[in-house]
Amino acid sequence: MLHIEGLSISIENRKLVSDFSCALSENEVTCLIGPSGCGKTSVLKWLAGILSPTLGATGALTLDDTGITPPHASTTYQPQSDALFPWLTIAQNAALGLEVAGIPTKTARADVLMHFKTFGLAGCENLYPEQISGGMRQRAAFLRTLVQNSRFILLDEPFSALDAVTRLRMQAWLCDQLAHTPRGVLMVTHDLHEATQIADRILVMPAAGGPLAANISVTTPRHARTETAMAQIRTTLKSLLLES
Amino acid sequence: MQSFRHFLPTLVLATALLLAWQIYCTLAQVSPLVLPAPTQVLRALFIERARIGPHALSTIWVATLGFSTSVTFAFAASVALHFSPWLQRGLMPLLVASQTIPLVALAPLMILWFGFGLLPKVLLVILVTFFPILVSLLSGYGQVPQAYLDLLSSMRAGKMAIFRRATLPMARASFFAGLRISATYAIVATIFAEYAGSRQGLGIYILTAKNSFRADLVLAAVVVSAVLTLLLLAVIRLTEKLTSKGPAGGKRHAAH
Ligand SMILES: Nc1ncnc2c1ncn2[C@@H]1O[C@H](COP(=O)(O)OP(=O)(O)OP(=O)(O)O)[C@@H](O)[C@H]1O
Ligand SMILES: Nc1ncnc2c1ncn2[C@@H]1O[C@H](COP(=O)(O)OP(=O)(O)OP(=O)(O)O)[C@@H](O)[C@H]1O
Ligand SMILES: [Mg+2]
Ligand SMILES: [Mg+2]
């Protein structure tokens, strides 16, 4: 379990996030939603250890009852833009996290290449990011994240740049990947439909700081998540977002 | 074929310019002592080739030595300044000031201090070419998207790792742009240094030719200096292409 306790983030004197606490469990997808500008990205960046120094943050992070300081090896962060380096091939990009972690280039490359087929990237190993489509780039970014084998992954609106159809495909694809190798996922999203399709737990952030507005567990199995089955929860979320 | 098409506009314009010059000299009957026609310059160049050759070689040698030393220093300095904002704030104004020193003042002083050898000329080339390379490197370092830096930091990459994996590759295009600007100064600076005092080199050749009122020989040396500069630029372009990473393979810089 990864516990965030009493996280407060402030800009100069303005409180952006206050008293944010939650627990992320492995094998569970947690979606973080909230009105625009409420500090979702900031929470994620704090967890990834890359919050801008102009934002002051206090709070505790504990992994299985041990205090840790981000950035920590147990979390992998995936920025909102895919941030694939244009001067590296897809294979080199995918291996970046492993290489930075000190794994020899050859081992890292071999490790990454095994997964190209399951990630729908077969044949793209030696292409450069600008040569592949948006959906493929996103999968390459996921490959870079997932091969790092950390217990938790932090996703900031991973599908926001995709067209509607690719987006649906990629959501299903991510669920398959996670069913195959479960991770603890904290995913920021704006899309209620996406949240209700993917999440095991949905956290709703309030607009004005303060504790979570809601922490909803979604128990319906993924294959049973039809429009009608999820209508109720979507209405609840919508009203929560609108009132905050 | 591709490159021929690329250079066609330049060829057409240059030919037109030379033709106009030739026609003007013929029609207006200008004295060759004042303005020799292109054909006369070419003839002078051909007749004098054995004398110009060694001078040109000497100039190439000094320019290359000065330029490569300059690139090395500029790179080392850029890394130091990148990692030390204090040093950058302190040194940049001084470096800018160094660029305002008139060469006509500096070149004779250099010769006074360091004699007629290699050193004063190499120093002069460094002084002229160092700054544009340094500035282009530093500006390239500043162009790394925040997302790349965030990504590497979240992977717990250290400062050096971030520099090597994101900052340096990102600065590549900007570095080569600075290199091209500096390269055009390198040959000119060398010739100027030789002009101020030297035993060998195109600069001293130009001085001698001027003193004996041989405008055609002066222009012949100018042609050689232009060719040398173009050669240097071609070498840089080739290096850039050969070391280029990415699908563009030079396409991204085709605008230059
Ligand atoms: N580096 C920074 N310096 C100053 N203010 C910042 C900085 N980063 C974020 N902010 C401010 O913090 C607020 C919240 O930003 P954040 O990106 O965390 O929101 P968000 O919930 O992710 O919004 P969105 O849903 O639109 O992505 C914004 O109002 C923004 O102006
Ligand atoms: N510059 C390029 N060089 C080589 N192949 C390319 C290039 N650009 C695109 N492709 C190939 O063309 C195919 C389609 O790319 P395109 O970006 O047009 O798809 P798309 O329909 O926009 O996809 P998406 O919805 O994922 O954005 C991809 O398979 C990609 O590999
Ligand atoms: Mg955001
Ligand atoms: Mg597209």
What are the mean pLDDT values of chain A's consecutive 10-residue runs (244 residues total)?
92 88 92 91 94 91 90 92 94 96 95 91 93 92 92 93 84 89 92 92 88 88 88 90 78
Instruction: Tell me the two tokens of residue A50.
Output: 């890359």
Domain-wise residue ranges, chain B: 37-255
Best mutation site among A133, A137, A138, A142 for ligand 2 pocket (most ligand atoms within 8 Å of CB): A133
Of all residues in chain B, the one with the smallest CA distance to A72 is B156
Band of pLDDT at residue B3, cut at 50, 70 and 90: confident
Instruction: Tell me the two tokens of residue B11.
Output: 């060829």
Assess whether pLDDT exceeds 70 at residue B255.
Answer: no
| H or E element, residue B248 | none
Of all residues in chain B, the one with the smallest CA distance to A148 is B155
Of all residues in chain B, the one with the smallest CA distance to A86 is B246
SS3 for B73?
Answer: helix
For residue A71, which residues of chain B lie inside 8 Å, CB to CB?
153-156
Q: Is A232 in the pocket of ligand 2 (CB under 6 A)?
A: no
For residue B169, which residues of chain A lie inside 8 Å, CB to CB?
85, 87
Q: Which fold has domain B37-255?
A: MetI-like fold (1.10.3720)
pLDDT reported for residue B167? 96
Output the CA–CA distances (angstroms, integers) from residue A242 to A21, A165, A196, A207, A236, in the order listed.
Answer: 22, 27, 17, 10, 10
Residue A76 in contact with partner chain B when CB distance is under 8 A = yes
Which of A38-52, B10-24, B95-109, B166-180 is predicted with the least confidence, judged by mean pLDDT? B95-109
Side by side, the strands of the sheet bearing A66-67 are A14-24, A2-11, A55-63, A66-67
pLDDT reported for residue A170? 84
Contact B165, B206 (CB under 8 A): no
Assess whether pLDDT exceeds 70 at residue B62.
Answer: yes
Looking at ligand 1, which residue's alpha carbon is closest to its atom 29?
A37
| Distance in Å, CA A89 to ligand 4 centroid | 19
Assess whether pLDDT exceeds 80 at residue B250.
Answer: no
| Nearest ligand to the CA atom of A121 | 2
pLDDT reported for residue B6? 86
The rounded distance, in Å, linking the Cα atoms of B142 and B145 is 9
Exposure b/e, B130-144, CB count within 10 A at least 16 = b: bbbbbbbbbebbeeb
Q: What is the 3-state secondary structure (H, E, C) of chain A?
A: CEEEEEEEEEECCEEEEEEEEEEECCCCEEEEECCCCCCHHHHHHHHHCCCCCCEEEEEEEEECCEECCCCCCCEEEECCCCCCCCCCCHHHHHCHHHHHCCCCHHHHHHHHHCCCCCCCCCCCCCCCHHHCCHHHHHHHHHHHHHCCCCCEEEEECCCCCCCHHHHHHHHHHHHHHHHHCCCEEEEECCCHHHHHHHCCEEEECCCCCCCCCEEEECCCCHHHCCHHHHHHHHHHHHHHHHHC
Q: What is the mean pLDDT of residues B112-117?
A: 88
Q: Where in chain B does DSSP place strands (E)?
A: none
Output the CA–CA distances (angstroms, integers) from residue B2 to B5, B6, B180, B192, in the order listed.
Answer: 5, 6, 22, 36
CB-CB: which of A71, A83, A86 is closest to B156? A71
pLDDT reported for residue B254? 36
Distance of CA B219 to the CA centre of its chain: 20
Band of pLDDT at residue B1, cut at 50, 70 and 90: low
pLDDT reported for residue A98? 95
Band of pLDDT at residue B104, cut at 50, 70 and 90: confident
**pLDDT tens, position by position, B152-161:** 999 999 999 9
Assess whether pLDDT exceeds 50 at residue B16.
Answer: yes
Give which of A100, A124, A125, A147 to mutate to test B binding, by max B Cβ within 10 Å: A100
Q: Does the bond joining B120 to the residue before it have cis omega, within 30 degrees of 0? A: no
pLDDT reported for residue A244? 62
Nearest to residue B92, comparing CAs of B76, B78, B75?
B78
| Nearest ligand to the CA atom of A50 | 1
The rounded distance, in Å, linking the Cα atoms of B133 and B142 is 14
Band of pLDDT at residue B256, cut at 50, 70 and 90: very low
Q: What is the mean pLDDT of residues B145-150?
A: 95
Output the CA–CA distances (angstroms, integers) from residue A215 to A174, A208, B178, in the order listed.
Answer: 22, 17, 55
Strand A2-11 to strand A55-63: parallel, antiparallel, or no bridges (unpaired)?
antiparallel
SS3 for B197?
Answer: coil
Band of pLDDT at residue B115, cut at 50, 70 and 90: confident
Domains and their CATH numbers in chain A? 1-74+184-244 (3.40.50.300)
Assess whether pLDDT exceeds 90 at residue B238.
Answer: yes
Distance of CA B71 to the CA centre of its chain: 11
Band of pLDDT at residue B253, cut at 50, 70 and 90: very low
Contact A83 B150 (CB under 8 A): yes
Give which of B151, B156, B240 to mutate to test A binding, by max A Cβ within 10 Å: B151
Contact A203, A165 (CB under 8 A): no
Counting from 1 in the atom list of ligand 2, the atom nearest the Cα of A130 is 1
Give which of B150, B244, B253 to mutate to test A binding, by max A Cβ within 10 Å: B150
Q: What is the mean pLDDT of residues B79-94?
A: 93
pTM for the full predicted model: 0.85
Band of pLDDT at residue B248, cut at 50, 70 and 90: low
Nearest to residue B154, comparing CAs of A53, A50, A183?
A50
Q: What is the mean pLDDT of residues B141-160?
A: 94
Assess whether pLDDT exceeds 70 at residue B195.
Answer: yes
Assess whether pLDDT exceeds 50 at residue B8.
Answer: yes
Q: Ligand 1 pocket by C-beta < 6 Å: which residues?
A: A 11, 16, 34, 36-42, 52, 54-55
